[in-house]
Chains A and B, each alone.
Chain A
């Protein structure tokens, strides 16, 4: 789960990481109130989960109440790459002497945590990595040992941060690592991390991605979940416990297992079709889950055909077959359904469906045959 900048900053604050004083605002009047409280000049920042806000006019400096009104009014409702701005973050503007970069993420190939620190912040780290890789000090951290202050001190020296910033940054990095680990982040990134003319170091931006697998030990994440804007199809699927991702094609996909679902998308594409979604009904799905899956796909007006691709493992094919019949009873499925059923109890499953097969409910013996049939319907 990606956090908005303001949520990331609030999350950082819990771990003692310094951020600029500020608050959120959903209206022009709230923006004014925050600005009056924190003091001018302020920065009015659009809260959207997409990069390039500044270029799109979503970040503006305001020196007085009139400018706050003007910018807040312009930015609220602004469409930034398909993300409409509903919320602003207003913070006290900082004077900047230097911009640094700091982040922690998992280094998957090495199974260690990776810290990245650079004296060249403020630009995308990918660009720095490309053009001047020596400007990034990489630190591999053993998750068992963690990051201590001594190591952080050597690290800030390696990164050649300004002398006056080093001790403060080392302390901040230890806190950021704590936020990253104790806070169960997939990514904790500060860009830019700034040094002010009066030699203070603090986070001017916050990019945080949380590991949803750790939700069970973070009840406080509920507030972040509440602000997640979702595709209505994805929301409906989530409520039914399905793993669904909306796409733009016309072939609705239902499969069991993420790998098979991805593979189904690929095969549909290979035979000339395009998938309307990724939907993994998971392991051990019963008739009810299958029926819900069909209902979710049926609610997508783009879908012209539904391809059900099941290889029973824990999932039993007879349950899938019952689910299909159950769904047909519950709702009118407008599109034809093409099924490929193999694996655990496939014979029983096919037998359950046999009396009900017709021109809109079809089985095919293999994944490829079924994909071809489904795409023929979609492109008809």
Chain B
């Protein structure tokens, strides 16, 4: 099994006619994802390489039965696009857009909770999600993933997500689902959401969790793991050497005062029984050991 998306997930792409949306939407389709439509206001009735384009999410959902959306629109339109997806009947929204104002993200998150409690948002500013061999929504290169499980991956960082997939696939260890939750201050889906889904998924036997400096999501995840997780977790936290007070690329990756340091996160995870590794390679090797001993 996989979490959140599988071979039956029907996906529309908001922004399919744009450069990024087209490139990744078509790549996702080539991977085998059921990309059933695109949405661009004013371009309804046209198509992108055979994929029908609609003016609104509502029309696209009515015509195709899509339940997931891949949002690839510029930052200033992203909040509206996400809300339109939810209002149009989409249940799983993946937003890869980088650079959305924090206040927009905070409003979107709370509006979804209040008005559309059944809707899950992944991202913004994330690489997306891949259930290898079944469905790939986002910008992850499908060829670095390996189908068949048994490892679930959840990560705050894009390229480190690829690195984690690569470390495992190279050793012949497959993945059930790999979720990139993104590095922004208000992620729609957090570590705990993914850990809980992996814990409930019978095919996932172990989880790799990639964190980074900033915020306290890793510490909260550690607390959750301590009380709820029965499956082994291997973790790596990036940014041990990051200086305080400087945003390391991601809007959320900043150490403020003594808060948000990699060391504090690693200590909390270790205390929760997580195998904490010092670099991605070591984390991959540790996971190989764990999977071989299963």
Residues of B within 8 A of A (CB): 24, 75-76, 99-104, 106-107, 109-111, 114, 127, 139-141, 144, 155-163, 166, 183, 185-186, 210, 212-213, 215-217, 220, 236, 238-243, 246, 248-253, 257, 262, 278-281
Contact = CB atoms under 8 A, between A and B. Distances in A.
Contacts of B185: 106, 108
A143 B106 contact: yes
Contact of A263 (B107, B109, B140, B279): B279
A117 to B, nearest CB: 20
Contacts of A343: 141, 144, 162, 166
Contacts of A258: 157-159, 183, 212, 248-250, 253
A314 interface: yes
Contact of B101 (A111, A213, A314): A213
Tell me whether chain A's interface is mostly helix, strand or loop, or mixed: mixed
Interface stretch (A56-64, A222-230, A264-272): A264-272
A97 interface: no
Q: Which of B106, B109, B217, B257 has the most CB of A within 10 A?
A: B106
Among B140, B185, B236, the one with the most A-chain Cβ atoms within 10 Å of its Cβ is B185
A261 B244 CA distance: 16
B80 to A, nearest CB: 13
B141 A344 contact: yes
Interface string A242-255: 01010100000001
A45 to B, nearest CB: 22
Given A111-B109, A257-B249, A313-B139, 18 more contacts: A106-B106, A108-B185, A108-B186, A108-B215, A111-B186, A213-B100, A216-B75, A257-B157, A259-B156, A259-B249, A261-B249, A262-B241, A263-B160, A275-B241, A313-B127, A344-B141, A367-B281, A368-B279
Given A106-B185, A108-B252, A214 B139 contact: no
B279 A367 contact: yes
A259 B141 contact: no
A260 B163 contact: yes
B157 A312 contact: no
Contacts of B253: 258, 262
Contacts of B166: 311, 342-343
A257 B160 contact: yes
Interface of A: 106, 108-109, 111-113, 126, 142-144, 181, 184, 186, 211, 213-214, 216-217, 243, 245, 247, 255-263, 265-270, 275, 278, 280, 283, 311-314, 342-344, 366-368
A368 B285 CA distance: 13
A268 B240 CA distance: 11
Contacts of B158: 257-259, 283, 313
11 contacts: A126-B257, A213-B102, A245-B248, A258-B159, A263-B160, A267-B279, A275-B241, A283-B139, A314-B24, A344-B141, A367-B279
A202 B158 CA distance: 45
A266 B141 contact: no
Nearest to B24: A314
Given A144-B114, A214-B103, A259-B183, A270 B279 contact: yes
A249 to B, nearest CB: 9
Contacts of A217: 76, 101
Nearest to A256: B159
A312 B158 CA distance: 11
A343 B243 CA distance: 29
Given A245-B246, A262-B213, A269 B186 contact: no
Contacts of A247: 243
A111 B215 CA distance: 11
Contacts of B243: 245, 247
Contacts of B240: 266, 269
Contacts of B127: 313
Nearest to A315: B159
A243 B243 CA distance: 15
Contacts of B257: 126
Contacts of B109: 111
Given A213-B99, A214-B103, A265-B242, A259 B159 contact: yes
Given A184-B101, A211-B101, A263 B106 contact: no
Nearest to B115: A144
Nearest to B242: A262
A262 B103 contact: no
A283 B114 CA distance: 34
B281 A109 contact: no
Contact of A266 (B103, B110, B239, B251): B239
B103 A143 contact: yes
Nearest to A186: B102
Interface centre among A112, A184, A278 (most CB of B within 10 A): A278
Nearest to B159: A257
B95 to A, nearest CB: 14
A367 B280 contact: yes
